[in-house]
Chain A
Amino acid sequence: MLIRKNDALPINTVTPSRRGFLKAGVVAGAGLVIGWHLPSGRITSAQAAEAGSPFEGYIRISPENKVTVLAAHLDMGQGIYTGTATLVAEELEADWSQMEVEGGYGNPKLYGNLAFGGKFQGTGGSTATMSSFDRYRRAGATARVMLVSAAAKQWNVPAGEIAVSKGVVSHSSGKKATFGELAEAAAKETPPADVTLKDAGAWTLIGNADLRRLDSPAKTTGQQTFTLDVKLPGMLYAVVQRPPLFGGKVKSFDATAAKQVKGVVDVVEIPRGVAVVADSTWNAMAGRKALKVEWDDSAAEKRGTPELMAEYKKLAAGKEAAVARNDGDAAAAMKSAAKVISAEFEFPYLAHAAMEPLDAVARKDGDNIEIWGGHQMPDLYQGIAAGIAETTPDKIVLHVMMTGGSFGRRAVGDGDVIAEAVSTAKAIGWKAPVKVVWTREDDMTGGRYRPMYFHKMQAGIDGAGKLVAWQHRIVGQSIMSDGPFAGFIQNGVDPTSVEGASTLPYAVPNIHVDLVTTKVGVPVLWWRSVGSTHTAYSTEVLIDEVAQAAGQDPIAFRLAMLGDKPRHKAVLEKVKEASGWGQAMEKGKGRGVAVAESFGSYVAQVVDVSVNNGAIKVERVICAVDCGTAVNPDVIKAQMEGGIGYGLSAILKGEITLKDGLVEQTNFDGYEVLHLDEMPEVEVHILPSKEGPTGVGEPGVPPIGPAVANAVFAATGKRIRLLPMSKFDWKSA
């Protein structure tokens, strides 16, 4: 959801050099760690750094022969733990059954996201596989070489005669050892100056569609521990009463009644509201119901979404806008165009509504503060927690938990729930561990939405049916403007507001894209595929309309304008062939297409819909994806399926509305989401590629909305430009 390889952004993709890897290892004393033999439990890198311990890095091998990979990226369902283990196991020649994964943190040198320049650790922008690909293969290969040299010494044979396969190190003399047996000796070996990685042709795990996810067994038996499931001795549970209006503040509160609720232990003010602390989640929630808070709403946002949208429309007609792209002279070309198509699009606020509501557990343990959570940006959260606890970041010990979805919600600049857990534990004098839980209502009304946007567009066609002019204005809030990402805004353009629009792939001689950034008190955030959630919709729906106006087939028209974009073309060609494009459809049914690049991956989708009395049923989706090297093909398919379902949920019925500043949807009864009976049949085709791996968590989302809209047009002749589609007025349109 965040940042990726894109020249529009001021970051460089860093390829981890062999030197860099080894240097990190030598300097930090931790580039490679095998031979994990501390007495018990996990050691944190904060502790490790302090003690000068080498036992932290990428790989641990236990005497029991378990290989534990310390992953740089949070797993929130996208399968990166399985992916990271695949990369290590491939080069280590481990057996898949001995692999385990934990979240590593606390050392940006080891875990810094290479897509973000390698300086800080974070999961987002669908970058995890890209950042991990060389790093973890190299770690696996280095560990294998060290295991082999340890065996060579023990057996007194040349290293070159030793083979490693499926977790067993062996020699033709019949000598054999497991990794666990060699681990301690191997840890004392000097890491090799260089390692040779396998050729793609020799891979047995990378690209293997039969490899199963490492987390399936725990997640199908109720054994997977999420943050919500953490239970520590003496732990207390807290819910926080936050201001009902965004920007509100606590004026005063009366906790008398709340404290009389059975099980309530404390009621304390924290910077983000008033925390009710109890002996169980339910008692904390009951205590909060009895709490009386008076709010200071003087600085709060009190506008509703209808007023905001009306303002956005006015701004769209104004003169002030920051230019995101300017090729040729779009205004002049529009004037001389034979035909001009105008279109306006409205996009609502959207909640992430991940299945696990926000939660975090904090406790003080000696000098350290420990935090259990979905740490999507670990070093940022260490800094935030250290600030609250008045200590230094190295004293903040993180437990990176398997997380019940995020879709961007757990990568937040102010660390919301993490900050609340630490603040609450501090406010009760660190007397007990505290788990802060957001109820679904807190989660739904608590902000950090995909921003609301208004798009105003024009497309000009010449007499020969060629698209010659394109004007695109976007009006909405900036995601990066406050907090640690403000530096990414250049010339008044937040790249996440315009991505997909400023990068329109079609060869149009005159393009003008600009942005009006609005100031609204509703907190916003990246939401699975960020800018492309709206820009892919408006551009791909308008392109379809242009094709229709030019009397051309939607796929042929796109292909003709994608001259220098072979990867866009290839995914389009694939869905054209796999979908039976061009077949006649029954009455009431339609077929539509869309293509979008996001996070370095290319996805095209062909959608079949039926429309019955205004009810849209999405029946089938044919999806083609080019994400470079496919590390875990089945996980990629799952991400496409999930991205399609997540996107459908939003475009068919997702919207957060505000009335007088108050959010109107409070739970899944008001904020409707996709259910099983609405899920279309999805068929995913992965294009073979020798390119490096790129994103899959988000790129499945952008094309689904416009492909559905274009299919609905094919079925009904109506263009839906206002989302969600459930609001579409079929009569007046």
Chain B
Amino acid sequence: MITLKVNGQDRQVDVDPATPLLWVLRDTIGLTGTKYGCGIAACGACTVHMDGQPTRSCSVTVGDVGAASITTIEAIESKAAKAVQTAWQKLDVVQCGYCQSGQIMAATALLESNPKPTQEDVEAAMTNICRCATYQRIKTAVNEAARIMEG
């Protein structure tokens, strides 16, 4: 048994410690908002927060998570998270939406640590793949979220 701290709760999971966090979140715990896109840390669809840091959960084993606190898209509720979701909805960023949990987790982590990112900051932080190419709206929405946070 491995104990994980997910969305503020302790979860006991009976899996091989080499299992990627992504699949434990999805198949074992049932939190399917976090998506699988590549399994090799290349796309960001699986992004969660580990102690507040954006982390590609396909490439972290549950054995390595330790006592870190995991937050998934289902439970983000910081000011930045709310602003990001509001901006995303206002600008209708999503198309298929499959990458968007990861995009929102990446954007939220960015704004939590850097509430006024420059264009370069946004480009450096938002490296998740969107095959629908919603990138232009993502850029605009991150700026809009930063504006919303200013109040």
Chain A positions within 8 Å of B, measured between CB atoms, are: 76-79, 212-213, 215-226, 228-229, 231, 237, 262, 280-282, 286, 353-357, 402-405, 407, 437, 439-440, 634-635, 638, 641-646, 648-649, 667-669, 673-677, 679, 681-682
Q: Which residues of B lie under 8 Å from residue A76 when comparing CB positions? A: 96
Q: Chain A nearest CB: distance from B7 CB in Å?
A: 11
* Assembly CA distance A78 to B26 (angstroms): 26
Q: Which residues of B lie under 8 Å from residue A402 when comparing CB positions? A: 96-97
Given A212-B89, A282-B27, A642-B134, residue A668 in contact with residue B95 (CB < 8 A): no
A682 touches B136 (CB 8 A): yes
Of all A-B residue pairs in the complex, the 5 with the closest CB atoms, nearest first, are: A222-B33, A645-B133, A404-B98, A77-B96, A219-B97
Given contacts A213-B92, A222-B31, A355-B96, 20 further A-B contacts (CB under 8 A): A212-B89, A212-B90, A215-B94, A215-B97, A216-B92, A219-B94, A221-B33, A222-B73, A228-B32, A237-B27, A281-B27, A355-B35, A356-B35, A402-B96, A405-B98, A642-B95, A646-B133, A667-B39, A676-B127, A679-B135
Question: At the interface, yes or no: B101 with Cβ under 8 Å from chain A?
Answer: yes
Q: Chain A nearest CB: distance from B122 CB in Å?
A: 8
Q: Which residues of A lie under 8 Å from residue B28 when comparing CB positions? A: 280
Q: Which residues of B lie under 8 Å from residue A225 when comparing CB positions? A: 32
B139 touches A679 (CB 8 A): yes
Question: At the interface, yes or no: B111 with Cβ under 8 Å from chain A?
Answer: no
Given A216-B94, A676-B139, residue A405 in contact with residue B89 (CB < 8 A): no
User: Who on chain A is nearest to B90 by CB?
Assistant: A212
Q: Which residues of A lie under 8 Å from residue B97 when comparing CB positions? A: 77, 215, 218-220, 224, 402, 404
B85 touches A220 (CB 8 A): yes
User: Who on chain B is nearest to A407 by CB?
Assistant: B131
A667 touches B96 (CB 8 A): no
B131 touches A667 (CB 8 A): no
Q: Which residues of A lie under 8 Å from residue B131 when comparing CB positions? A: 353-355, 405, 407, 646, 649, 673
* Assembly CA distance A237 to B19 (angstroms): 15
User: Who on chain B is nearest to A282 by CB?
Assistant: B23
Q: Chain A nearest CB: distance from B53 CB in Å?
A: 19
B38 touches A646 (CB 8 A): no
User: Who on chain A is nearest to B75 by CB?
Assistant: A222
A679 touches B133 (CB 8 A): yes
A676 touches B135 (CB 8 A): yes
Q: Within residues 81 to 139 of chain B, which ones have a CB less than 8 A from any CB in chain A? A: 85, 88-90, 92-101, 104, 122-123, 126-139
B132 touches A405 (CB 8 A): yes
User: Who on chain A is nearest to B141 by CB?
Assistant: A220
Question: At the interface, yes or no: B45 with Cβ under 8 Å from chain A?
Answer: yes
Q: Which residues of B lie under 8 Å from residue A223 when comparing CB positions? A: 33, 74
Question: At the interface, yes or no: B67 with Cβ under 8 Å from chain A?
Answer: no
B136 touches A354 (CB 8 A): no
Interface 1/0s, chain B 71-83, versus A by CB < 8 A? 0111000000000
Q: Which residues of A lie under 8 Å from residue B94 when comparing CB positions? A: 77, 213, 215-216, 219-220
Q: Chain A nearest CB: distance from B88 CB in Å?
A: 5
Q: Which residues of B lie under 8 Å from residue A405 when comparing CB positions? A: 95-96, 98, 131-132
B98 touches A638 (CB 8 A): no
Given A354-B131, A669-B42, A677-B123, residue A220 in contact with residue B136 (CB < 8 A): no
A668 touches B40 (CB 8 A): yes
User: Who on chain B is nearest to A441 by CB?
Assistant: B39
B95 touches A638 (CB 8 A): yes
Q: Which residues of A lie under 8 Å from residue B40 when comparing CB positions? A: 440, 667-669
Selected contact of A676 from candidates B20, B36, B123, CB within 8 Å: B123
* Assembly CA distance A440 to B40 (angstroms): 9
Q: Which residues of B lie under 8 Å from residue A78 when comparing CB positions? A: 95
Question: At the interface, yes or no: B34 with Cβ under 8 Å from chain A?
Answer: yes
* Assembly CA distance A229 to B88 (angstroms): 22
Q: Which residues of B lie under 8 Å from residue A212 when comparing CB positions? A: 89-90, 92
* Assembly CA distance A404 to B74 (angstroms): 18
Question: At the interface, yes or no: B8 with Cβ under 8 Å from chain A?
Answer: no
User: Who on chain A is nearest to B138 by CB?
Assistant: A676
Pairs A–B under 8 Å by Cβ, sample size 19:
A77-B95, A219-B97, A221-B33, A222-B34, A353-B131, A404-B98, A405-B95, A405-B131, A405-B132, A641-B137, A645-B132, A645-B134, A648-B133, A667-B38, A674-B133, A675-B127, A676-B126, A676-B135, A681-B136
